[in-house]
A and B are shown apart, each in its own frame.
Chain A
Amino acid sequence: MTLFSKTGRGLRSAGRISTRTNNKSSFARRATALALAAVFALSLTACANSGGQTAQSGTGSADAAKPAEVATAATGETTAAEGGEFVFGIASEVYNFDPFESTTADSRAICFNIYDGLMKITPEGAFEPGLAQEYTMSDDATVYTFTLRDGVKFHNGKTMEMADVLFSIQKAIDAKIKGYDKIASFEATDDKTVQITLAAPDTGFLAYMTQAIVPDGSEDLASNPVGAGPFKFEEFEEQDHVTLAKFEDYWGEKPHLDKVTVRFVANSSEMMIAFQAGTINGFDASAGVSAQVDDTNARLYARNSNAVQLLALNNDSEYFKDEKVRQALSYAVDRDNIIETVNFGYGVKIGTGLIPGLAKYYDSSMDDYYTTDAAKAKELLKEAGYEDGFEFTVTVPSNYQVHIDTAQVLVNQLAAIGVTMNIKEVDWATWLESVYTNRNYEATIISLDGSFAYPTAFLARYESTSSSNFVNFKSDDFDKAYNAATTSTNDEEQVKLFKECQQILTKEAASVYLEDISSIYVYSMDFDGFVSYPLYAYDFSAIYKVAE
């Protein structure tokens, strides 16, 4: 192992200059490995790949912003072997697998493998038919018709029928799943076709149709999930792991792996130790942790986490009710410095409340609307009447080290314009209630993710009356633009309107937008096949054990 990791390092640096050299070396190495295979069968072949296959860890910036490239860069030149178990470590615990109940990001990421919806998201961020064979949208974007796919089996062995689909849609409406409030009525026109009528036109409605379809009469999905996804739920142990098994009767392309175990690992040092000991084959961690992995012996994939990290300012609080103060902070903040200091450069600077992953809608012209300019910031503060600065408290959830670190950098940056920021850590439960729900705070740092890949998932919260508008942003211009955008049936116009929404957010400085932090996926050399989406999801069906 060690013998080869040294050469691997050399190859890797060569690979930076030219991929071609890289490939050749890889072949040479493979040949050597084959020759020696008789002696050191297993370890050598595994290592042989380490030279060529260290998938380039694309620095999260620029190119990763476009989901199309994210997808193609994913798979290396390895070939897939069928079968095997993949053990994946995540830093949080997923304990509720009910797709209608649990809406936390990690739950959705795991449920992505258990359930399929009528539509399925592609790595590019488009929507293609899933459990529906085909769909049509009426010209005015109010009536959607889905034809069910034949012979789709659920994990319980039952074949999908119209009753299951109707049950699931009703369940989603009852569970107040986002987007389902737009449905005015739905009915089965025949036993293969379901027609959904919306209250108002919405061209983005397909995004909501990725919501899970479950067997009619499903109960207790939280601990006994049954879906029609590529993996079926096998077992769950509190604070320890959840095991998924390959679903042999999956309607689509069947997964390579036989089994996937997701381990809930308490902290990052434990993650590193478990990875080095081979107890886990891969993990998802922040740059601070992943940067320690010996990348000659592991595959690293840096991808956008598809969440908006922001210094959220309570627009109803004493200082931040003044737009000028919010703008002053926006000028004071140096986002490049934050990305560099906290995330080792693995992050994409953003200037507005949408993820760059939704490239079609994202307005990149806002990225540099505020350039770091202390003089301008001070001037704005002076205009607002805070010539000598002021002092405020930022409430940060203590379970996110990355936000705490960001806060520590911000303390320094704001000190430069005479503003004193004090950090107050609270536990997640307190944060959710006091900050997010009751909006009893001055400022906070958090990453906001979208539950589906469509701008409304991120922008809806800034509507004046939105229940999730925890920054208390109120702008008539925004409300008008947002409303126009969601009801527009013209694609081009809609994109323009969504961009206008973003511009309003930036110009009125709803908050200080920082970055889309990169997630770094670390795989051992034995596994490959990484696919990412403009959505927080783990796609285990693409992962495979590397063939020798």
Chain B
Amino acid sequence: MKYISRKILILIITILFITLLTFLAFHVLPGDPAQLILGTEASPEKVEALREQLGTNQPLLRQYTSWISGFARGDFGTSLKYQKPVAELIAGRLPVTLLLGTMVIVLTLAVGIPLGVFAARKQGTWIEQGVSLLTMLGVSVPGFFLSILFMWIFGLVLHFFAPGRFISWESDPAGCLRFMIWPALAIAVPQTATLVKYIRTSMIDELRSDYVRTARGNGTPENTVMYRHALRNAIVSVVPLIGMMIGEIFSGSIIVEQVFAIPGIGRLLVSSVTSRDFPLTQTLVVYCALIIVITNFLVDIVIQLIDPRIRLTE
């Protein structure tokens, strides 16, 4: 209990630190949201009037404190660009990103771990070589290249889906999945390749280590050696990687969302930064930070569960 409350305290401090960073970022960046809405044709008086209306004529520190105090009360503020509540905007995007993220993670883990183990088991055979060739290509092919390729082949040539027409879950769940599988694959392929590579490397390392040899010497069955000992330890070294992937994926993949025209968190973030939409950016950054901090917290716990050698708590 004490451990948990300490963790929560740290989490709050981290989040505060991150909001401060965003605040500083906006402090140094040039760009005026009012001018961005009005464009080049507006007179300075008009820009000033809109600034007043948006509240951006106040010092940024004031904007920050009012955002923070609102945030503490659960009010994330109003987007300057869209003049809509930030919560509403994010709520509209979140399901899409979560769905895509879940699909990617399921694909990556379901393919990556078995394949990595398989490759390590078959070490020294042409199967391993084949897998390592595939992973090598997988990690070497640029992700957005893959997106465009999928779009072209499966969208334009084979008509598996209509490119550029996102189907929302509410309107048609099956259609949505059929559409989302392609961007999910585009993200998952390089991620899977990376995972396979890491698992294979660390499995082979583990298989070479003292305790595995000792276990083998003692006549422990091969499967037990593989899964109870080697894989368990190999996973310890890839768990942080998986954690990072989860963090990255749930904060929205900007390029893939862009190519497939998916209304996700990533595109909203880019737009909020380029339009200097302070409340929206601030909230999105906090969301991303929460995802990352929480996954890292879980990563630490998982590592401890798997590998009792690591003790993080005193």
Answer whether A and B touch in the complex at a CB cut-off of 8 Å: yes
Interface residue tally on B, bucketed by range: 35 or more
Residue on A nearest B40 in the bound complex, by CB = A436
Within A256-314, which residues are at the interface with B (CB < 8 Å)?
263, 265-267, 269-270, 273-274, 276-280
Complex CA gap A399/B268 in Å reads 17
Tell whether A429 pairs with B276 under 8 Å between CB atoms, given A273-B164, A279-B162: yes
**Complex Cα gap A511–B274 (Å):** 28
Stretch at the interface among A67-75, A93-101, A338-346, A512-520: A93-101
A267 to B35, CA, bound (A): 24
Q: Chain A: how many interface residues by the 8 Å CB criterion?
A: 48
Which residue of B41, B156, B259 contacts A277 across the interface (Cβ within 8 Å)?
A: B156
Query: Which of the segments B77-85, B135-143, B233-241 contacts the partner chain?
Result: B77-85
CA distance A262 to B31 in the complex (A): 27
Chain B CB within 10 Å — which of A175, A238, A263, A437 has the most? A238
Q: Is the CB of B40 within 8 A of A468?
A: yes
Closest-CB distance, A68 to chain B (whole angstroms) = 26
Contact of A278 among B162, B274, B276 (CB under 8 A): B162
Judging by beta carbons under 8 Å apart, are B39 and A277 in contact?
no
Asked whether any CB of chain B lies closer than 8 Å to the CB of A13, the reply is: no
- Chain A, 367-384, contact with B by CB distance < 8 Å: what is the 0/1 string? 000000000000000000
For residue B46, which residues in chain A have a CB less than 8 angstroms away from its CB? 103, 175-177
Q: Identify B41's interface contact among A95, A178, A265, CB under 8 A.
A: A178
B36: CB under 8 A from chain A? yes
- From residue B55, how far is it (CB to closest CB) to chain A in Å? 15
A-B contact count (CB 8 A): 130
A220 CB → nearest B CB, Å: 8
Contact partner of B40 (CB less than 8 A), chosen from A237, A265, A448, is: A448
Q: Is the CB of B267 within 8 A of A280?
A: no
Q: Which A-chain residue is minimally distant from B83 (CB atoms)?
A: A222
Give the interface SS of chain A, mostly helix, strand, loop or mixed: loop
Closest to B165 in A: A279
Nearest opposing residue in chain A for B45, CB measure: A176
Complex-state Cα separation, A278 to B161, whole angstroms:
12
A89 to B258, CA, bound (A): 15
Cβ-defined partner of A432 (8 Å) among B35, B83, B148, B263: B35
Give 1 or 0 for each of A384-414: 1 = CB within 8 Å of chain B CB.
Answer: 0000000000000001000000000000000
Q: Is the CB of A103 within 8 A of B39?
A: yes
Chain A: CB-nearest residue to B88: A238
**CB <8 Å contact, B275 and A432:** no
Q: Are A429 and B30 in contact (CB under 8 A)?
A: yes
A102 B38 Cβ-Cβ under 8 A: yes
**CB of B95 closer than 8 Å to a CB of A:** no
> A-contacting residues of B (Cβ < 8 Å)?
29-32, 35-46, 49-50, 81-84, 89, 92, 148, 151-152, 155-156, 162-166, 258-259, 261, 263, 267-268, 271, 274-276
7 A-B pairs with least C-beta separation: A429-B31, A274-B164, A104-B39, A176-B46, A279-B164, A433-B30, A103-B41
With A238-B89, A274-B261, A428-B274 given, name 9 new contacts (CB 8 A): A101-B50, A103-B46, A107-B39, A223-B84, A240-B263, A273-B163, A429-B276, A430-B31, A432-B32
